[in-house]
Structure 1
Amino acid sequence: MRVRPFSSKSRALGLISLAVLCAGSFAGAGSATAAAPVAAHHGAKPIDRQAGPAARAQVTSGQAVSNTLSVGSAGTQGVVAPKPKVYLVFWGSQWSKDPAGVAPDLQNMFKGLYGSKDTWGTILDQYCEGVAKGTSNCGSSGTHVTHPSSTPLAGAWFDNAAAAPASATAAQIAAEATKAAAHFGNTTQAPNLNAQYVVVSATGTHPDGFPSSGFCAWHDFTTSSYGKLAYTNLPYVPDTGAGGCTTFTDGRLLSGLESTETHEYAETVTDFWPSIGWNGSNGEIGDECENLDAYVTLSTGTFDLQGLWSNSANKCVTKG
């Protein structure tokens, strides 16, 4: 999750007991009718809340921090997303206005996150599932995250038939993710073992209290009749102004959005159903490295991609 300062990056983590998260089990159904989604399965706020507004010192790429990530579960589902697929959901009729150009920017960024031009995404390849709980080095064992050979963007949907709630709750955001799964035809657990639904709210809205709740975005999972669904609450970050949710101070309005979403994307890939995936003493793969941003040129443009923790390098890095 990203609990970042809006003037720069910072995170206030709220980790929940794995015993609570892992209690019980779920058998995904194939029904085409969604059951009411359960968003607050932790009994509290979603686990990954990217930090809200507070000044942060920027670290340089390669600065070592003792934050080795390890696997929280020996399972083969929900630890990582081996073949990541991203579904962007632009929620509500309020998307008739997009003053910062968020919708085209997010689509262009994900269209470029693959192949040889994307050296940032290869950081994720070292992480896997299907290994012993507590593993910190997969080696050749388990099922690894596979660097995409084509865009991970599997779909974009403007759900604009009605207005989204002005101040959506976590449960309402989860319900929108469930609605998106149906829209994209992902109505069994199998496709949802790699799919993440990014619910993007429009300018002027306040999903889960943004920007007054101390986060830039968060990711979580919800339970539905389509299986467990990984989703992200991504507010309209440019509403915080240039410099919000990024360490860059060059006045570029979209940098914080890109940094925030790449943080959440990477954490969803490596901790798919929080919090049984990869975590360390300071949180998930993006949490330790919120002070590190880099402009990376992909085939579709140049974007602010947040640094990620690499176990193999034992430091925050911006390329694999």
Structure 2
Amino acid sequence: MRIRPFTTTARTLGLLSLAAVGATSFAAAGPAAAVPGHHGLKPIHQSAAARPLAADAAQPQASGNTLKVGSAATSGVVSPTPKVYLVFWGSQWSSDPAGVAPDLQNMFKGLYGSQDTWGTIMSQYCEGVAKGTSSCGTKGTHVTHPSSTPLAGTWFDNGAAAPGNATAAQVAAEATKAAAHFGNTTQTPNLNAQYVVVSATGTHPDGFPSSGFCAWHDFTTSSYGKLAYTNLPYVPDTGAGGCTTFTDGRLLSGIESTETHEYAETVTDFWPSIGWNGGGGEIGDECENMDSYVALSTGTFDLQGLWSNSANKCATKG
């Protein structure tokens, strides 16, 4: 696991209007503090030096970028048939000024099939092979590229307000609540389910944005087994340019880049960190300076580059 620093951040409270947030200048900040148990922290960033690289461009690489599997286990290493459950947490979702909820649903509805060449990058990774393996070949159980949308469910849990400053434990508890809501009450369905807990505008889950991350993923132990989940804040509250290398002013780019980063890392390091990691971290950590607009059947979205062992570089298509 690599805890990744952010370079610059809006440091807004998320209570301002999006227009005001967009006008807020980015202030320099130090590295984000390491958060024990949190994995794949995507940093809030946009610096003058950070620019999107051409899709699948060769990257200058440090030694050790190759991903290797951390365990010979036959479950919990990867998610062989990914299923995503979007959880829009709290009555605060009566306000969604950037249109995050429909955007995330549309993005996942398009992440499958032949048009989604980004998702095929993950098919080279597997579980059930020797610890330290860097190439699965035909061995093990591989991640299967979805033939239909991986979006298995959407829930607006709006019966009460979510905490304004939710702790990591409260985010994990919401993921457990979601597992019950969707009927995933044994370990078997939860070997492929990932619960994306999306917080509303103006809220600060685990200290966002002052803690310097865009999102993180982890797992929690529950009466339903181990559950993989993501803490996904309302990234547009950081303003345009937060959590993406694009500088075109599009507010939704950052949350799309962030969630594709966390989605891919959950698929390939399901119960961190027994999955696939390299010298630069997980599959998304190594490629956080590559964003690319990719056309899916449901629209065009900012998908973050992923590390491909087979190509020995960051890529946006398999």
Shorter-chain TM-score: which interval? 0.7 to 0.9
One-letter code of the match for 2:294? V
Deviation at 1:44, TM superposition (A): 2.4
Q: Sort the Cα spacing of 1:279 and 1:249 in 2 relative to 1 into closer, same or farther, 3 A.
A: same
Residue in structure 1 matching 2:57, options 48, 62, 65: 62
Mapping 1:142-157, distance limit 5 Å: 142-157=140-155
Percent identical among aligned pairs is 79
Aligned partners of 2:142, 2:30: CA distance in 1, in Å?
28
- How many angstroms apart in 2 are the aligned matches of 1:125 and 1:190? 21
Shift of 1:2: 6.9
Q: Please say if residues 13 and 283 of structure 1, whose CA atoms lie closer than 8 Å, have aligned partners that are also in contact.
A: no
CA distance in 2, matches of 1:319, 1:173: 32
Instruction: Please point out which of 199, 203, 206 is paired with 1:205.
Output: 203
How far apart, in 1, do the equivalents of 2:101 and 2:245 lie?
22
CA distance in 2, matches of 1:254, 1:48: 20
The answer to whether structure 1 residue 257 and structure 2 residue 250 are counterparts is no
Q: Which amino acid in 2 is paired with 1:119?
A: T
For 2:281 and 2:44, locate their aligned partners in 1 and report how far apart those are by CA, in whole Å: 16
Alignment of 1:176-187 (within 5 A): 176-187=174-185
Task: State how many pairs are aligned.
Answer: 292
**Counterpart for residue 19 of structure 2:** none
The answer on whether the counterparts of 2:95 and 2:201 sit within 8 Å (CA) in structure 1 is yes
Q: 1:52 aligns with which of 37, 44, 48?
A: 44
Distance in 2 of aligned mates of 1:72 and 1:152: 25
Tell me what 2:14 maps to. none
Q: Partner residue of 1:315?
A: 313
* Offset from partner CA, 1:167-224 (integer Å, 9 cap, x none): 0000000000000000000000000000000000000000000000010000000000
Displacement of 1:99: 0.2
1:104–1:266: structure 2 CA closer, same or farther, 3 Å change rule? same
Letter paired with 1:234: L
Equivalent positions of 1:278-317 (< 5 A) are 278-317=276-315
Q: Which runs of 5+ in 1 are unaligned?
A: 16-42
| CA pair 57-47 structure 1, distance change in 2 beyond 3 A | same
Q: Secondary structure at the match of 2:154?
A: strand
* Distance in 2 of aligned mates of 1:98 and 1:14: 29
Which whole-Å deviations, capped at 9, do the CAs of 1:58-103 have from their partners, x for residues lacking one?
3443323241000000001110000000000000000000000000
Q: Distance in 2 between matches of 1:125 and 1:13?
A: 31
1:215-269 deviations in Å (ceiling 9; x for gaps): 0000000000100000000000000011110000001110000000000000000
Alignment of 1:100-115 (within 5 A): 100-115=98-113
Q: 1:12 to 1:127 in 2, by over 3 A?
A: farther
Q: Is the 8 A contact 2:32 2:211 kept in 1?
A: no
SS at match of 1:281: coil
**Runs of 4+ displaced beyond 4 Å:** 1-8, 10-15
The aligned runs of 1:165-204 (5 Å cut-off) are 165-204=163-202
Q: Which residue of 2 aligns with 1:116?
A: 114
| Contact 2:45–2:245 under 8 Å retained in 1 | no
In 1, are the aligned partners of 2:42 and 2:215 still within 8 Å (CA)?
yes
The amino acid that maps onto 1:53 is H
Distance 1:247 1:2 in 2: 15
Distance 1:3 1:77, change over 3 A: farther
The runs of 5 or more residues in structure 2 that have no matched partner are 11-25
The two structures, once aligned, show a CA RMSD in angstroms of: 2.0
Please state how far the C-alpha of 1:52 moved relative to its aligned partner. 2.8
Q: Does 1:89 align with 2:87?
A: yes
Structure 1 residues 148 and 13: alpha-carbon distance in aligned structure 2, compared to 1, 3 A threshold:
farther
Query: Which amino acid is 2:57 matched to?
Result: G
Cα distance in 2 between the residues matched to 1:201 and 1:268 = 19
Structure 1 residues 135-144 or 59-68, which shifts more? 59-68
